[in-house]
Every structure is written in C-alpha cells, then in structure tokens.
Amino acid sequence: MSNSLKDKILNIWVNVCRLLLAVTFIFSGFVKAVDPIGSVYKISDYLEAFGWNIFPNYIIIVFAVILSSFEFFLGINLLFAIRRKITTGLIMLFMLFMTPLTLYLAIANPVSDCGCFGDAVKLTNWETFWKNIILLVFAVSVLIWNQKMFRIMTWRVQWIVSIYSLVFIVGISVYCLNHLPIFDFRPYKIGTNIKEAMSIPEGAELTEYETTFILEKNGEKKEFSLDNYPNNTTWKFVDSKTKVVKQGYEPPIQNFSISLLPDEYDITEEILDDTTYTFLMIMPSIEKASDENIDRINDIYDYCLDNGYKFYCLTASSDKMITYWKEYMGAEYDFGITDETTLKTIVRSNPGMILIKDGTIINKWHHKQLPTDEELSGRLENIELGQAKSNDYPITVLYIILLYIVPLAIIIGIEAIWLKANNIKTFE
C-alpha cells in the first residue's frame, strides 16, 4: 500500500472518529442542558449510593450545568477543529476518567441507569462502559493525529465560536431551570394517557426477577431465596437483592398511584377514569418546595372550586410536613401520597402542576409559569388552556438550530467578506 493511500485512509479515519466523538459529546451535553433538574436528580442518586450526599442542592445544580456545558463545548470545538491539541487532550482526559468509572458502575451497579444521555436514551451501566471503550479508541486516534483534522473556519473566528457555544448552552440550562424542559423525554409528556402507558399488551412476556435475602445468625451471614427462606426466627434480616433473570416488556409508566389522606384511600382509578378535568399539584418534597407562587396556586384551587374541577396536591413528604404546609401556606386542598421518584419524573418543578382529563395529560406547568386569571377566564371546556396541546417538537428543534446556526453563519460570513476585501487567504 502506497504512503499516499495510507495517509488518505488515516485522514478519513481520524475525521470519522472526530465526527462521531463530536456528535456524541454535543448530544450528551445538550440533552443534559435541556433537563438540568433531571441531571441534578441523577447526580444526587449517585452521591447517595456512594454515601456522599453532603452537598447542598445549589452545588449539585451548578455542577450539573458545568458538566453539560463542558461536554457540549468540547463537542463543538472538536466538530469545528478549534484548538485541536487542547480539545483532543481534554477529551482524552475526560474519557480516561469516565471509562474506569463506568466499569466500576457496571460491576457495582449502584444506580441502574447511567444517565449519560439524560432521559433521551436509556443505557445500562454495561452498555455505557462498552460505549466508552469505543469512544476511548476514537479519543486516542484524534489525540495522536489531531493535525489531520481539517478545519472549516480560521483561527480568527474560532474563539468567537467557542465563546458563543458556551454562552448558548449555559443559556439553555438557565432557561430550563426556570421553565420546564424544552424537550420532554420522560413517559409523562403532554398528550400521554397514563392508564394506557401503564397497561401491558395482551400476550406480552413480563420481566422476571429473582430476589435473594441476606440473613444473619450468630455473626454468620447467609443468602436465601424465597424457596429456602428459613422459618427459624433466630435468623435476622440484613438486606435483600433483586436482579433481572429474564428481560420482558415493561410499561413506560409503572409506579403511578395516589393514596388520598388521611385514610390513604387509593383514588388512582377514580382520577384516571374521570371524564372531567383534574389539577394535580406535584410537590415531591415539601422541605425543598418553593413557596414564591403559593398565592397563584391557591387562586387556581379557588378556580377549581368555582367550576367543579378536582384539585389534589401529590407529595411524598411526611404528615408533619403536610401539616406544616397547610398551616403556613393556607392550603385547603386535599393531599395524596405518591412515590417521590414518580413525582420527580412527572414534572421538573417543586412544586409543579399538571392538568389531566380522561387520564390524559393536557398541560403541565413550572411553578413560575402557572396559568393566570386571564388564561383561566372561563370553563376549561371552552378555553384554549383546556384543550390538548399538539406536539410541536419539530418546530422547537428548528428554532434551536436557527438560534445556534444563524448567529454563527453571520459571524463566519462577515469574516469571509473581510478576508476577501483584505486579500487574505482563508487559512493563512
């Protein structure tokens, strides 16, 4: 094989590696940026699993924004071959850190879903590890032969592209911290019928699990299954482990239930079968809930009373905290108990709110964007707020692309005109 052919093959290989790495980093950073609260929950899960849950929430939020911005920034720099040595070096360091970490996570399995692509793409810990092995090979290639990555813009404009990309992705994160995510990858998106999403198709094979129990007697620990679980009461329970024996169909929604206080009466079916409107205020943790828009929440409750709609607050907090909220916030609405993880999945706001009818999610709001009196000017049957929203994701994608590309195109265009007017070669 001639040297020129080898060089061409190497050029192709390096730039294919560069493109795949760039797309992966950009996608990973972006899907985290549009759902920063989801990243906060995932990071908190890891910290709790490792026994490091000592950090205040704002520190975790800042770290989540930095992580998504760093990944997006590196991906853009690699895509445009900006600061090739520094960029490929940072990507290599990132992969050298993440690959052994994901190997440990695959073996120990402290959290089942890695969260590397947010809720957009679900990967097991082992899938994440093998994905990182492939990316590590790509990272080594672009690091060694970074000079073979072709550039599509001059050094004069590269720093502007880098800074704009960083400002762009941080701006996306800040916006989504104060609003709901602009893309909802979770099973409770608007338009979802909760009851249908909980159902299992006829004939579908279910996932099979095996649970083992760790018991202790006289200082000796031993594992038992359900089949040989001892009746001897001298054995004391220590821990239990559940693993998947055979993967089967799992409905998108599995743990949605509402137990109405004070008697913890299950009203799940009643709510999902109701043909009228129901407002559900979502408050996973009263201890961490914002009270800045409590008056607006109370106004919506009054609107429900006036129009005959149901209104419930769903939480996972204790009776003590519920009593506190009622006394100090003037809450007169009923409370229901729902799993905390489920509540965090339904809406990325504490508190947040959803509107359902016939078991279908009609609308959802961040507590900073709750419907106003003007929007609730009539009965829901007759106003826009009570109508099912259509999926406008393609338009949102177009807006995001234009928001990023148009300013960059203008910058590059101005630079090209300036270079031509001054008789300067493009990559001089």
Residue with tokens 């009373």: 305
Do residue 218 and residue 287 come from a single domain?
A: no
Do residue 28 and residue 144 come from a single domain?
A: yes
Binned at pLDDT 50, 70 and 90, residue 145 comes out as very high
Q: What does the block give as tokens for 355?
A: 């509107």
Residue 26 within a domain? yes
Q: Give, in degrees to the nearest 5, the angle at Cα 136 between 132 and 137.
A: 125
pLDDT at residue 387, rounded to an integer: 87
Do residue 160 and residue 285 come from a single domain?
A: no
Do residue 288 and residue 240 come from a single domain?
A: no
Residue 80 within a domain? yes
Residue 408 within a domain? no
**Residue ending a domain, choose from 212, 246, 280:** 246
Residue with tokens 């061409």: 8
Domain count, the chain: 3
Q: What is the mean pLDDT of the chain?
A: 88
Mean of pLDDT values over 127-134 = 94
**Residue ending a domain, choose from 178, 210, 225:** 178
Do residue 216 and residue 163 come from a single domain?
A: no
Strand partners, 336: 260, 314
**Cβ pair 167, 69 in contact under 8 A:** no
The DSSP secondary structure of 122-142, one letter per residue, reads --BHHHHHHHHHHHHHHHHHH
Sign of CA dihedral 320, 325, 326, 327: positive
Do residue 239 and residue 268 come from a single domain?
A: no
**Cβ pair 178, 348 in contact under 8 A:** no
Strand partners, 259: 266, 337
Mean of pLDDT values over 404-426 = 75
Which residues are within 8 A (CB) of 58 and not within 5 positions of it... i.e. 6 or more apart?
none
Residue-wise pLDDT tens digits, 111-124: 777 778 888 888 88
Which residues are within 8 A (CB) of 112 and not within 5 positions of it... i.e. 6 or more apart?
124, 125
Residue 206 within a domain? yes
Residue-wise pLDDT tens digits, 322-331: 999 999 898 9
Is residue 107 helix, strand or coil?
Answer: helix
Residue-wise pLDDT tens digits, 363-406: 999 999 999 999 999 999 999 888 887 767 788 888 898 988 88
pLDDT at residue 50, rounded to an integer: 81
Write the burial class of residue 409 (CB in 10 Å: 0-12 exposed, 13-18 middle, 19+ buried). Answer: exposed
Do residue 9 and residue 146 come from a single domain?
A: yes
Instruction: State the DSSP code for 146.
Output: G
Residue 396 within a domain? no
- Which of the pair, 91 or 223, is modelled with greater confidence? 91
Residue with tokens 């094979």: 205
Residue 251 within a domain? no
- Output the CA torsion 297→298→300→303 (10° steps): 180
Do residue 234 and residue 309 come from a single domain?
A: no
Mean of pLDDT values over 280-289 = 94
Residue 184 within a domain? no
Residue with tokens 């408050």: 283
CATH number (domain holding residue 285): 3.40.30.10
pLDDT at residue 371, rounded to an integer: 93
Of 284-288, 397-401, 420-424, the one with minimum mean pLDDT is 420-424
Residues counted in the chain: 428
* Distance (Å, whole) CA 37 – CA 233: 45
Q: What does the block give as tokens for 79?
A: 């895509």
Range of the domain at 87: 3-178
Which residues are within 8 A (CB) of 196 and not within 5 positions of it... i.e. 6 or more apart?
359
Residue-wise pLDDT tens digits, 79-108: 999 999 999 999 999 999 999 999 988 888
Instruction: Tell me the Ramachandran region of residue 109: left when phi exceeds 0, alpha when psi lies from -120 to 50, beta otherwise.
Output: left
| 77-99 b/e (C-beta count within 10 Å ≥ 16 → b) | bbbbbbbbeebbebbbebbeebb
Alpha carbon 377 to its chain centroid, in Å, reads 34
Q: Above pLDDT 90, what percent of the chain?
A: 55
pLDDT at residue 98, rounded to an integer: 93
Do residue 240 and residue 294 come from a single domain?
A: no
Sign of CA dihedral 22, 24, 25, 28: positive
* Distance (Å, whole) CA 294 – CA 330: 9
pLDDT higher than threshold 90 for residue 281: yes
Q: In the sheet that 265-266 helps form, which strands lie side by side, from edge to edge?
A: 265-266, 259-260, 334-337, 310-315, 277-283, 352-357, 360-366
Do residue 46 and residue 137 come from a single domain?
A: yes
Do residue 46 and residue 80 come from a single domain?
A: yes
Alpha carbon 51 to its chain centroid, in Å, reads 22
Instruction: Give the number of other CB atoms < 10 A from CB of residue 14.
Output: 20
Binned at pLDDT 50, 70 and 90, residue 428 comes out as very low
pLDDT at residue 424, rounded to an integer: 65
Alpha-carbon radius of gyration of the chain: 26
| Widest CA span in the chain | 91
What kind and span of H or E run contains 224?
A: strand 220-224
Residue 13 within a domain? yes
Q: Above pLDDT 70, what percent of the chain?
A: 96
Helices (H), 308-392: 319-329, 340-346
Do residue 142 and residue 225 come from a single domain?
A: no
pLDDT at residue 425, rounded to an integer: 61
pLDDT higher than threshold 60 for residue 426: no
- Which of the pair, 416 or 197, is modelled with greater confidence? 197
Of 19-23, 225-229, 273-277, 400-404, the one with minimum mean pLDDT is 225-229
